[in-house]
Amino acid sequence: MPSKPKNPRLPFGDQQTAPWYGKNILTVKQFDRADLDYIFSVAHEMRTMVEHVGTFDLLKGKILANLFYEPSTRTQASFMAAMQRLGGAVVPISEVHYSSVAKGESLPDTVRTLACYADVIVIRHPEVGSAALAARYADKPVINAGDGPGEHPTQALLDMFAIREELGRLDNLTVTMLGDLKHGRTVHSLARLFARFDDIRLNYVSPDILRMPREVMDEVAKKGIRQTEHATLDAALPETDVLYVTRVQRERFEDPAAYEKVKGAYVITPEVMKSAKKQMIVLHPLPRLTEISMEFDADPRAAYFRQMECGLYVRMALLAMVLGKA
Ligand code: ASP
Ligand code: CP
C-alpha cells in the first residue's frame, strides 16, 4: 500500500486526494492486488490514448529528472517518452560521469539537488537499496528503475501488464524463469509479484551458481506458491505458459572466468521451442545477447518486443499516479 505522501506544498491543480499522489515506487512489495488492477487499468487507458491521440497534456508543466548511474536503453527512453507523451518535460542525467557525481558528490546531495528542479525522480543505480536511500533525501517522489541486483519494480509491472494483454489472465499460470536468477533484478521483482495471484506455479531454471536467491524464494513460499528449481529446461517447458528468459549479467560477476563458464548455458531456438505449447509466450526484459536466437523472433509466441512497448504505457500510468493526475 502507498506510504505517506510527500510534498505537502501542493502546486495549483494537483489532486491531493489521488491515492498515489507524492508516493515513491521502490519495490513491488508495496503493491497489493487491488493496486495492480488499478495500475493496469490506467496503463490500458494510456495505451488507448497513445493509439488515438499520440500526445496529450495531462502532465503539462511537470518535470521528470531521469538519473541513471548504470546503462539503460528501454527504461531511460520509455520514461522520457512517457513524460513527453503526457506533455511534461525531462531533465536527463544519464551520463553521470559528466555530472558532479564525477567530482565525488554523494547520492543524497545529488537527489536533493534534482528535487529542487523536478517534480519526480527516476533513478537507476548499481547498489541494492540506492533508490530507498534516494527517497529518504528527496522531498519529491522517487521511482526505482533498478537498484543493482535488488529490484526493478516498474519492469515487473510492465511484465505483468504484457502477460495480461497477451494471455488475458494473471491467475492459473505456469511461469518458467530461465537464466541468471541470482543477479537478475527483474525476476526478483516478478516472482514476488506473482505471489499475489492464485494458482501460480513458478519454475526456476538456472546454472547452480545463478539460482534464485533464498530470500526471494522464502517470501514467495509464504504465499503458498509452488516453486521448483531445475538445471535444464526440458522438464518445465511443455507445461509453461510464460517463459521468462534473462541475460547472464556479466557486470555483476567478480570472476570473469565464472561468467565465461555459464554465459551460454541456455539458448532458445525454434528447435527448442518445438516442445512448448502453441498458446504460450516468451518474454525477456532485454537487452538480449545469445540466450534467444534471432530465428525465433518471427514466432508468434515471441512476445518480447510487444512486452517492451508495454513499458511506455505502464510508465505513463505511474508518472500520472505519483503526480496526482490518475
Ligand atoms: N534491462 C534489465 C535490467 O536492467 C535486464 C538486463 O539488463 O538484463 O535489469
Ligand atoms: N529492461 C530494461 O531495463 O532495459 P534497459 O536496461 O535497456 O533499460
CA distance linking residue 78 with residue 114, whole number of Å: 20
Report the candidate in 250, 311, 246, 301 with the shortest Cα–Cα distance to residue 272: 301
Does the residue 241 lie in any domain?
yes
Q: In the chain, how many domains are there?
A: 2
- Interval between CA 138 and ligand 1 midpoint (Å): 25
The model carries a pTM of: 0.94
Q: What is the mean pLDDT of the chain?
A: 94
Are 106 and 30 in a shared domain? yes
pLDDT of residue 5: 53
pLDDT of residue 72: 97
Q: Which residue range forms the structural domain that includes residue 256?
A: 153-309
Are 160 and 135 in a shared domain? no
- Interval between CA 308 and ligand 2 midpoint (Å): 9
Does the residue 2 lie in any domain?
no
Rounded to the nearest 5 degrees, what angle is found at the Cα of 222, between the Cα atoms of 218 and 227? 60
Are 224 and 271 in a shared domain? yes
Handedness of CA 14, 68, 144, 129 (dihedral sign): negative
CA distance linking residue 184 with residue 189, whole number of Å: 9
CA distance linking residue 313 with residue 316, whole number of Å: 5
Are 61 and 169 in a shared domain? no
Does the residue 162 lie in any domain?
yes
Are 120 and 165 in a shared domain? no
Are 219 and 316 in a shared domain? no
pLDDT of residue 10: 47
Are 49 and 162 in a shared domain? no
Does the residue 219 lie in any domain?
yes
Q: Is 94 in the pocket of ligand 2 (CB under 6 A)?
A: no
Does the residue 4 lie in any domain?
no
**67, 70, 72: residue to mutate for ligand 2 pocket, most atoms within 8 A of CB:** 72
Are 74 and 164 in a shared domain? no
Residue 37 has pLDDT above 60, yes or no: yes
Residue 16 has pLDDT above 80, yes or no: no
Q: What CATH number has the domain bearing residue 317?
A: 3.40.50.1370
pLDDT single digits (tens) 100-139:
888 999 999 999 999 999 999 999 999 999 999 999 999 9
All three cell numbers of 295: 530465428
Are 94 and 213 in a shared domain? no
Which atom of ligand 2 is nearest the CA belonging to 73?
A: 7
CA distance linking residue 166 with residue 170, whole number of Å: 10
Are 144 and 166 in a shared domain? no
Which atom of ligand 1 is nearest the CA belonging to 246?
A: 8
The residue type at 11: P
Give the pLDDT mean for 74-87. 98
Confidence class for position 94, pLDDT limits 50, 70, 90: confident
Phi and psi angles of residue 197, each rounded to the nearest 5 degrees, phi first: -110, 170
Residue 319 has pLDDT above 90, yes or no: yes
Quickly tell me which residue has 519495490 as its cell.
27
pLDDT of residue 102: 85
pLDDT single digits (tens) 164-217:
999 999 999 999 999 999 999 999 999 999 999 999 999 999 999 999 999 999
Are 29 and 56 in a shared domain? yes
